[in-house]
């Protein structure tokens, strides 16, 4: 987004092969809190529909999807999966009437860091599975919130909404 930073809730999404973590901020973008862990449903998209529902209920303005790149900043199979997920989510948000944009943000090591944070908090390693994706989503969102505060605009790379009939489907494009 170019121009002044819009007030409103932002969501953070950590996309994994089996689960998707979801976090939300307050409308002022100060605090990121875990929302839920969703079972990944590649066939029917139930997880994306739940994110769309959360975005609409919370009147979210941006959904940040973590972009997993390797330590050298290069794309991996997980990177392509996250991009595809973000594109589908952007289309579903638009179709549902949500004004929320979807932006991709670098999320190197968010899951590793989330496991470390849970261990340091005294959580048994076996119990991590239930919440690690939420913690990773919080970290993705916190990173995006910090970046947007320093940039005074939404962080990350906007996701283009696939347009019907070859029309230009981008919305909320920024100079990031």
Model pLDDT for residues 56-113, shown as the tens digit of each residue? 999 999 999 999 877 666 777 788 999 999 999 999 999 999 999 999 998 865 555 5
pLDDT at residue 153 in the model? 87
pLDDT at residue 107 in the model? 81
Helix or strand or coil: residue 93? helix
Which alpha helices (DSSP H) does the chain contain, by range?
Answer: 46-58, 77-95, 110-120, 132-151
- pLDDT band at residue 134 using 50, 70 and 90 as cut-offs: confident
pLDDT tens digits, 15-70: 999 999 999 999 999 999 999 999 999 899 999 999 999 999 999 999 999 998 77
**Best CA proximity match to 105, nearest among 70, 157, 41, 62:** 157
Helix or strand or coil: residue 108? coil
pLDDT at residue 170 in the model? 46
Q: Distance between CA atoms of 80 and 69, rounded to whole angstroms?
A: 9
Tokens 């997980």 correspond to: 78
Q: Distance between CA atoms of 50 and 33, rounded to whole angstroms?
A: 17
User: How far, in Å, are 13, 20, 129 from residue 119 at the CA level?
Assistant: 22, 20, 12
Question: Would you say how long the chain is, in residues?
Answer: 176
Instruction: Kindly state the tokens that stand for 15.
Output: 């996309």
């Amino acid at each position: 987004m170019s121009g002044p930073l819009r007030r409103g809730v932002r969501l953070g999404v950590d996309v994994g092969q089996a689960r998707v973590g979801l976090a939300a901020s307050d409308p002022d973008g100060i605090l990121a809190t875990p929302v839920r862990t969703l079972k990944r449903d590649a066939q029917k998209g139930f997880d994306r529909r739940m994110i769309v529902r959360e975005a609409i209920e919370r009147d979210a303005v941006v959904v940040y999807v973590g972009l997993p790149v390797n330590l050298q900043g290069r794309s991996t199979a997980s990177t392509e999966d996250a991009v595809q997920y973000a594109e589908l989510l952007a289309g579903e948000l638009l179709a549902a009437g949500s004004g929320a944009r979807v932006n991709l943000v670098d999320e190197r090591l968010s899951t590793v860091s989330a496991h470390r944070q849970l261990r340091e908090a005294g959580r048994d390693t076996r119990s991590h599975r239930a919440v690690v994706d939420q913690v990773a989503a919080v970290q993705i969102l916190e990173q995006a919130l910090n970046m947007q505060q320093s940039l005074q605009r939404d962080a990350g790379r906007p996701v283009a909404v696939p347009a019907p009939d070859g029309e230009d489907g981008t919305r909320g494009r920024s100079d990031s």
